[in-house]
């Protein structure tokens, strides 16, 4: 955490104590100067609704608005339900428009309308506008407050503009330069503004090469652009190229974490935004569908095994060894699939590189299959002195690694080409494929050589 | 990508053509004004070493230094090998110290020493200093160029300071305020500097609540702090609290992507930084150890099956049905484990919340087990008219979901408490556990009721 002498994180234990003791002074002393992010965290850790509400109502309006923005979903839902409309309206007007839109976006249409009705006309118009964009697009994460000045503005006038709009533009790193039709033609990082002469016009100091996004650009693509070009702010334009908002890097950091979490959970068969803090019911709903689907594919694998019922009755050890072949194939498939899914998500891998990837994965599979197949065959031979069985398990392992390499690379790339998110659906196909193939190849070869 | 009229991405096809045609003019026209990040990407896609080198040597020194910084590891390794020392020295002096340290960090000690010997004294000292920190700590990602001014500096003098150091401090968002012992006592975001009166002292406009990190703070913790407090820059202090460097948010974006990728690959059993673009040999090494370990645990599962060889000879269908129980347990275990591992990595979950998590996961497992166990029992009964077999598979499924919930939550939290990265080692334990438990419970129950 912060080094001593600098940022002091809020002492949660002291806070709990102060809330329990009931003394307002002790509480006020703790809260004064506490960072909203620390307060939000403390609020998340309070289980007692009364204590939560008491803490929140003691905060001044500006701090309260940021605490509500930073709070976890469950704490936020609780507060939105418990707070009167008047208090929420004040919070909405103090938040940036993107955060205000996030906040009311989760409310019932009726309450949202009522709250927005009470806010000032500008907030109402801007928030309503932001709510029209899909949540996972640039429009859905941008704020309407964007610092923009005409081409011929002088540095002195830009400073004056920032001063006049200080309350709205409190988090500015770049000022955008627009032409007569409100199209972005340049960007002035604040450092250049600081170094400019008072009379210099922005067109002389601006960087004319601006990376902009459109309201319908996917948020994952927005994150790529920030990462690639090391952006602090990106202007957002409508379909006619007019500047309508901007995205700042702190929001992009959240997008990157969110997208990585979603992909990771999707690969594990957990759908939707069901975090560790949500209720058990939501946990069931986020996992049951995938388990049910896996039950279907597992039944297909079991049916494959049943094709060889006769062989298993004769060689019961086959029932044990076949699980090794399937398990190894599944693992190898998940390795390849995860590399490919992540490569596609980060833009490091393109579907056009398919054959290069497949060739590489098959090579790796052949090498691993040779080494591990040999080891496995030697162990089985030492144990059972059965050359046929040893040969079959080695051959089946190698073959299933190759199947795993093919499925692990082809499935996510094919899904990507079909515009399905590879993270969400690859696992089912890959592990079902390696299970069926593992059982079929091993038991089939064994039946054949017997 | 960029909207028309703004940032124009480099046309890769045109570039390849210009390189093939051999005309320098066409090439120069394409390269002039191209963004270094686009050039780096183009360089990565060139397979011909001659073309790569020709492209790179045509760039001016400043652009070349950024291209080398942004290039993929393989392109970078190639260029570092192909470029003469004099050219690399020039590049090093133009880069920020963190990027220069990254670049020489990958070289042999002998070449690194030779290159640093040629750079100016300041670069040499600073880069050598940065190389002493572990790569995954704040010291390993910070740059030595940090804008810092004493408490009593006026706004006008800060501007003068930034102007004097414009070449070194080209990427500044915050100016730090230090006391006589070079300890951080405040932060002046550039926006406040812009709005300050010329004669105002920084102590009047600074934010005294600065979130700082120490050189040995883990980079994952650094990323948490940036995310939590929406930072643009964090000052880095040594063990005595003196300011020695700073970290900017664009570097943190890379850390977040890198940590998420590492965790995702580790969960899938791919170790080390083996990306899709690396050679096949490295691919084998990054996966073979985990497959070998899985072979061992799969052998343990197979041995469990062999305990019930007699049962399988009598009821061969058991060999098919047992795979369903193991597969479902593995999937449910991976779901829980991934949620817990990600929650721990994001700091949303703390080991102290262990029992809350276990309770929740057991509840979900019981619900899923009841639904899916019932379905499975009905299907098996409809198919085989065997009440015992149906009852056994339902009970075994439910029990294995509960085992999966326990292992999926206990294993990562236990590893975290033992200071082992849960992402790297959880999968082995969880899936081995659900396999062994699945086979043992199903075959054991079946043997018992027969």
Residue A1 has pLDDT above 50, yes or no: no
ipTM over 0.90: no
**Mean pLDDT over residues B254-282, rounded?**
78
Say yes or no for a CB contact (<8 Å) between A280 and B367: yes
Q: Which pLDDT score, from 0 to 100, does residue B201 have?
A: 96
The answer to whether B326 and A285 are in contact (CB under 8 A) is no
pLDDT confidence band for A32 (50 / 70 / 90): confident
Total Cβ atoms within 10 A of residue B20: 10
Query: Å from A114 to nearest chain B CA?
Result: 31
Residue among A249, A292, A348 whose CB faces B277 most closely? A348
Which one-letter DSSP state was computed for residue B150?
A: E
| HSE-CB for B311 with a 13 A CA cutoff | 24
Q: Which residues contact B246 (CB under 8 A, 6 or more apart)?
A: B142, B143, B145, B146, B147, B176, B233, B234, B235, B236
**Mean pLDDT over residues A99-122, rounded?**
90
Say yes or no for a CB contact (<8 Å) between B268 and A295: no
Could you write out the DSSP letters of every residue in B366-405? HHHHHHHHHHHHHHHHHHH--HHHHHHHHHHHHHHHHHHH
Say yes or no for a CB contact (<8 Å) between A323 and B305: yes
The dihedral formed by the CA atoms of A276, A281, A283 and A289, expressed in degrees to the nearest 10: -170
> Which of B191, B315, B332 would best serve as a mutation to test chain A binding (most A beta carbons within 10 A)?
B191
Q: Which pLDDT score, from 0 to 100, does residue B396 have?
A: 97
pLDDT confidence band for A247 (50 / 70 / 90): very high
CB contacts < 8 Å between A and B, how many? 363
Q: Where are the alpha helices (DSSP H) in B165-279?
A: 190-195, 202-205, 219-229, 249-267
**Mean pLDDT over residues B132-159, rounded?**
95
Q: Which pLDDT score, from 0 to 100, does residue B406 have?
A: 96
Residues of A in contact with B287 (CB under 8 A): 332, 335, 364, 368
Q: Say which residue, B440 or A258, is predicted with more confidence.
A: B440
pLDDT confidence band for B419 (50 / 70 / 90): confident
pLDDT confidence band for B272 (50 / 70 / 90): low
**Mean pLDDT over residues A4-10, rounded?**
62
Q: Which pLDDT score, from 0 to 100, does residue B358 have?
A: 92
Average pLDDT taken over every residue of chain B: 89
Q: Which pLDDT score, from 0 to 100, does residue A5 have?
A: 44
Least confident range of A345-359, A387-401, B126-140, B236-250:
A345-359
Percent of chain B with pLDDT over 70: 97
Say yes or no for a CB contact (<8 Å) between A212 and B2: yes
The answer to whether B184 and B212 are in contact (CB under 8 A) is yes
Say yes or no for a CB contact (<8 Å) between B360 and A283: yes
- Strand segments, DSSP code E, in B209-334 are 213-214, 233-237, 243-248
Q: Which pLDDT score, from 0 to 100, does residue A6 have?
A: 61
pLDDT confidence band for B414 (50 / 70 / 90): very high
Question: Rounded CA gap, B224 and A11, in Å?
Answer: 18
Say yes or no for a CB contact (<8 Å) between B170 and A191: yes
pLDDT confidence band for A272 (50 / 70 / 90): low
**Residue B347: is it exposed, middle or buried by C-beta count within 10 angstroms (0-12/13-18/19+)?**
middle
pLDDT confidence band for B210 (50 / 70 / 90): very high
Say yes or no for a CB contact (<8 Å) between A253 and B252: yes
Say yes or no for a CB contact (<8 Å) between B305 and A319: yes
Which one-letter DSSP state was computed for residue A83?
A: S
Most confident among A46-50, A318-322, B350-354, B419-423 (mean pLDDT): A318-322
Query: Å from A110 to nearest chain B CA?
Result: 32
Q: Which pLDDT score, from 0 to 100, does residue B421 have?
A: 85
Return the CA Rg of chain B: 29
Identify the residue whose tokens are 């129950």. Answer: B445
Q: Which residues contact B158 (CB under 8 A, 6 or more apart)?
A: B149, B175, B188, B193, B202
Residue among A72, A291, A375 whose CB faces B328 most closely? A291
pLDDT confidence band for A234 (50 / 70 / 90): very high
The interaxial angle of helices B61-70 and B36-45, nearest 10 deg, is 60
Residue A2 has pLDDT above 60, yes or no: no
Residues of A in contact with B323 (CB under 8 A): 298, 301-302, 305, 323, 326, 435, 439
Q: Which pLDDT score, from 0 to 100, does residue B4 have?
A: 37
Q: Which pLDDT score, from 0 to 100, does residue A4 have?
A: 38
Q: What are phi and psi of B214, to 5 degrees?
A: -100, 160
Least confident range of A11-15, A144-148, B189-193, B413-417:
A11-15
Average pLDDT taken over every residue of chain A: 89
Identify the residue whose tokens are 């049905």. Answer: B321
Task: Give the 3-state secondary structure of residue A235.
Answer: strand
Tens digit of each residue's pLDDT (9 = 90 or more) over B312-349? 988 889 999 999 999 999 999 999 999 999 888 888 88
Query: Å from A38 to nearest chain B CA?
Result: 8
Residues of A in contact with B435 (CB under 8 A): 323, 327
Q: Which pLDDT score, from 0 to 100, does residue B271 have?
A: 75
Residue A3 has pLDDT above 80, yes or no: no
Percent of chain A with pLDDT over 90: 60
Task: Give the 3-state secondary structure of residue B185.
Answer: strand
Residue of A nearest to B321 (CA): A302
Residue B277 has pLDDT above 60, yes or no: no
Residue B64 has pLDDT above 80, yes or no: yes
Question: Rounded CA gap, B272 and A370, in Å?
Answer: 22
> Which of A316, A332, A384, A427 would best serve as a mutation to test chain B binding (most B beta carbons within 10 A)?
A316
Total Cβ atoms within 10 A of residue A319: 30
Tens digit of each residue's pLDDT (9 = 90 or more) over A358-417? 999 999 999 999 999 999 999 999 988 999 999 999 999 999 999 999 999 999 999 999
Residue A258 has pLDDT above 70, yes or no: yes
**Mean pLDDT over residues A287-293, rounded?**
89
3-state SS of chain B: helix, strand, coil percent to 5? Answer: 70, 10, 25
**Mean pLDDT over residues A38-61, rounded?**
87
Q: Which pLDDT score, from 0 to 100, does residue A226 have?
A: 94
Residues of A in contact with B283 (CB under 8 A): 360-361, 363-364
Q: Which pLDDT score, from 0 to 100, does residue A278 have?
A: 58
Residue among A162, A230, A324 whose CB faces B195 most closely? A162
Most distant CA atoms of chain A, gap in Å? 94
């Amino acid at each position: 955490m912060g080094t001593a002498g600098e940022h002091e994180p809020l002492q949660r234990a002291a806070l709990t104590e102060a809330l329990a003791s009931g003394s307002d002074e002790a509480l006020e002393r703790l809260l004064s100067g506490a960072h909203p992010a620390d307060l939000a965290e403390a609020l998340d850790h309070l289980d007692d609704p009364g204590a939560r509400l008491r803490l929140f109502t003691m905060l001044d309006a500006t701090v309260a608005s940021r605490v509500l923005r930073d709070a976890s979903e469950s704490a936020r839902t609780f507060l939105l339900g418990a707070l009167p409309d008047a208090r929420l309206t004040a919070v909405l007007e103090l938040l940036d428009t993107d955060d205000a839109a996030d906040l009311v976006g989760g409310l019932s249409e009726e309450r949202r309308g009522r709250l927005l009705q009470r806010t000032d006309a500008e907030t109402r118009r801007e928030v309503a506008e932001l709510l029209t964009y899909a949540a996972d697009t640039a429009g859905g994460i941008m704020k309407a407050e964007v610092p923009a000045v005409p081409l011929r503005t002088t540095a002195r006038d830009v400073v004056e503009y920032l001063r006049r709009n200080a309350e709205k533009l409190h988090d500015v790193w770049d000022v955008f330069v627009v032409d007569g039709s409100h199209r972005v033609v340049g960007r002035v990082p604040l450092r250049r503004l600081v170094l400019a002469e008072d009379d210099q016009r922005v067109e002389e100091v601006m960087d004319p090469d601006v990376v902009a996004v459109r309201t319908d650009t996917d948020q994952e693509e927005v994150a790529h652009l920030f990462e690639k070009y090391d952006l602090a702010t990106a202007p957002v334009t409508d379909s006619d190229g007019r500047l309508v908002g901007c995205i700042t890097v702190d929001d992009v950091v959240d997008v990157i974490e969110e997208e990585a979490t979603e992909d990771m959970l999707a690969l594990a068969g957990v759908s939707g935004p069901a975090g560790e803090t949500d209720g058990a019911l939501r946990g069931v709903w986020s996992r049951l569908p995938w388990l049910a689907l896996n039950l279907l594919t597992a039944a297909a694998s079991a049916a494959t095994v049943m094709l060889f019922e006769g062989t298993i009755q004769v060689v019961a050890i086959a029932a044990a060894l076949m699980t090794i072949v399937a398990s190894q194939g599944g693992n190898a498939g998940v390795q390849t699939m995860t590399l490919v899914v992540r490569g596609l998500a980060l833009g490091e891998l393109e579907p056009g590189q398919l054959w290069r990837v497949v060739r590489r994965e098959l090579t790796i599979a052949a090498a691993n299959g040779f080494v591990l197949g040999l080891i496995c065959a030697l162990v089985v031979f030492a144990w059972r002195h059965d050359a046929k069985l040893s040969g079959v398990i080695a051959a089946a392992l190698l073959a299933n690694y190759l199947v795993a390499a093919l499925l692990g690379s082809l499935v996510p790339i094919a899904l990507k080409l079909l515009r399905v998110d590879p993270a969400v659906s690859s696992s089912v196909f890959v592990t079902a494929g390696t299970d069926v193939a593992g059982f079929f190849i091993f038991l089939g070869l064994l039946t054949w050589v017997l």
